[in-house]
Structure formats: structure tokens, C-alpha cells
A and B are shown apart, each in its own frame.
Chain A
Amino acid sequence: MAFDDLLKKNSVRSPWLFRINAGSCNGCDVELATTALIPRYDVERLGCRYCGSPRHADIVLITGPLTTRIRDQVLRVWNEIPEPKVTVAVGICPISGGVFREGYSIDGPIDKYIPVDVNVPGCPPRPQAILEAVALGLKIWKQKLGLEA
């Protein structure tokens, strides 16, 4: 039991990020790449790593307003991510639909289908705001593991 707790306590220091593009304009994706790849906002020092496979993911970053064409694929990929996972909606599009809201091809906002944990609005959000969202996501991950109230 103590070993289990030790594992859980340390597990939040290794959040692997996974990006889902739900019909985004790529602005937020570029910003996500910025937080990770350029030396200035190095996310690797928080233990983060972008992983290519949904099976390896811990924190899911969803961008885009969830278009009708991509809805089923997004839901399928999201369901393949093992628990416990934290879902972060990046940008205004997944949160509210943003400038695409009520468009004929938009099926969002994303929390109609997926239980979102953290929102980080912006068009796109600043890299620091995304880092803040990841930090907030870690807190929620701890709650999901039962480490924090």
C-alpha cells in the first residue's frame, strides 16, 4: 500500500502530453509546439513529453471546435487513452466554439461529449498560460489519484 502511494505521488511528475486536433486552425497547435519545443518555455523540465500514441498519454490537450467530420474520430482517440487522464481544452474553440460557434459544421463545444477538466481560453493562449494549464491539470490529476482533496 505504501509502495502504491509512493508510485502515485511520483507519477504526477511525469505527465506525458498528447495533442488532439479537433478541427483547429493550427494556431493553438503552433502555440503548443512552442511551449514544448523552443528552449524558452521548455516543458520537459516539468517532466512532460509529447507522445505520439494516445495509449501513452496522461494529459490530453484538445484544440479546435470539434467539427462534425472529426467528432467520431476525436471521441475514439480520447476513449483509447488509459485512465487516469486529465483533459485540457486549449483555446476558445473547444471551450465555447469561439468564432466558429453555431456554424453549420461545428458540433462543439467539446464538453458536450468529453468531460473537460481544465480550460485555457485564448486565441491562441500564450505559452505561459498553457504551462499554467498543465500545472493546474497536475493538481486535478492528483485529485483523481486521491492524493489531494
Chain B
Amino acid sequence: MAGFLKVLFRNLLQGPSTDPFPLVPETFTPDRLRGKVVINQDLCMGCGICSYVCVAGAINIEKREDGHTITVWHNSCCRCAACRQYCPMHAISLEPNWHSAHAEADKYKVIEQKTIAYEPCSVCGKMIRPVPEATLKKLYVHNDDVDLNHVRSLCPSCRQLEDARRSAGLPPAAEKKAVE
């Protein structure tokens, strides 16, 4: 009891340690807090590993002929960051944003949605997701004679042919127009 009284007296002297948060907007947020998921649409290839590992089934990838749409529903995301861990392109990150309260009417509107448009292959005309510049630089780091802009616009099979040609010392194939 005496020990408690000492603590109480000390508390009284020290004054309140309450965060004035809801009355003023500033509050403490840790730098590495796992908050809302953010998708970098320049990097996302739509491989689907994120929706495969997502425990809460919050990620949906819709593939179409001319692109893909990746959607994260914050109301189902459990902030485990498995998607960030497994994303081979490092396209997913979790920003330290915890402002998640919303009215029931907005229940299905709190989403992170990115649509990535596909482009036709410059040789065969198939719709492909162009490989991001940074990734290409990493892939061809030992082949600095390659024209990255040209490679970027090729579909995987055309790129394979191209690589084979280059290995054989042949000049690059002439660019064909897309299917007439």
C-alpha cells in the first residue's frame, strides 16, 4: 500500500503522459509500421505470387487481353506483409498509414487498385507486359551492347530468338509490324 502511494504521488507530480491524439492530428507512428498496402504499378508483372501467399485472400489479380488489374482490399488485409516478402519484383510495400476507420458505406471502396496496360510485341504483335527498365538493366548487366529499348518491346519467345541470334553473331531481326 505504501509503495502504491509512493507511485501515485510520483504520478501526480509527473503529470499526465497522454497523447493528445484525437484532439490534435499529430501522433506517434513507428517508421516501419505495417499499414496499408501500396502497389508500385511500374514494377508489378502480374505473376500472382502475392495473391497465392495472401493468407487473408485480400489480393485479386484480374487478367485481361490488354492488361491486368491488381486489387488489394484493405478490409481483408491482415498486414502480415507476406506479399511484400514474396513479391519477386519488390512491387508491393506497406506504408506506415494506420488511418483505417471508415463508415460502412465505404466498406468496399477502401481498396488499393492498380491497372497495368499491356503493349504489343514489336516482332510478333502478341500483347505482353513490357519488362520494367530497371529489371532489364539487371538482366543484361553483362551485355551492355544490347539495345534495352528494343528488348523491352519483345515478347518472351521473341526475346529468346533474339538472344539466340545475338549468341550466333547474327544481326537483330528487322522489326515487323504488328499483325496486319
Contact = CB atoms under 8 A, between A and B. Distances in A.
Contact of A135 (B22, B27, B33): B22
Interface in B34-68: 55-57
Looking at chain B's contact residues, the main secondary structure is: loop
Given A41-B21, A92-B56, A96-B76, A117 B99 contact: no
Interface stretch (A2-10, A16-24, A72-80, A118-126): A118-126
Contacts, number: 98
A95 B75 contact: yes
A133 interface: yes
Interface residues on B, range: 20 to 34
A39 B22 contact: no
A74 B12 CA distance: 41
A122 B56 CA distance: 12
The residue in A39, A40, A122, A135 that gathers the most chain B C-beta atoms within 10 A of its C-beta is A122
A40 B17 contact: yes
A97 B76 CA distance: 7
Looking at chain A's contact residues, the main secondary structure is: helix
B56 A118 contact: no
A99 B78 CA distance: 7
B96 to A, nearest CB: 10
Given A92-B76, A123-B79, A128 B27 contact: yes
Contact of A99 (B17, B56, B74): B56
Contacts of B18: 39-42, 45
Given A92-B56, A128-B98, A111 B104 contact: yes
A101 B57 CA distance: 8
Interface of B: 16-19, 21-22, 27, 33, 55-57, 73-80, 98-104, 106-107, 110
Given A116-B104, A128-B22, A135-B22, 14 more contacts: A39-B17, A92-B76, A96-B73, A119-B101, A121-B75, A122-B79, A123-B77, A128-B98, A129-B98, A129-B99, A132-B101, A133-B101, A134-B22, A140-B103
Return the 5 tightest CB-CB contacts between A and B, nearest first. Answer: A123-B78, A133-B101, A126-B98, A132-B101, A96-B76
Interface of A: 39-42, 45-46, 92, 95-99, 101-102, 111, 115-123, 125-126, 128-136, 140
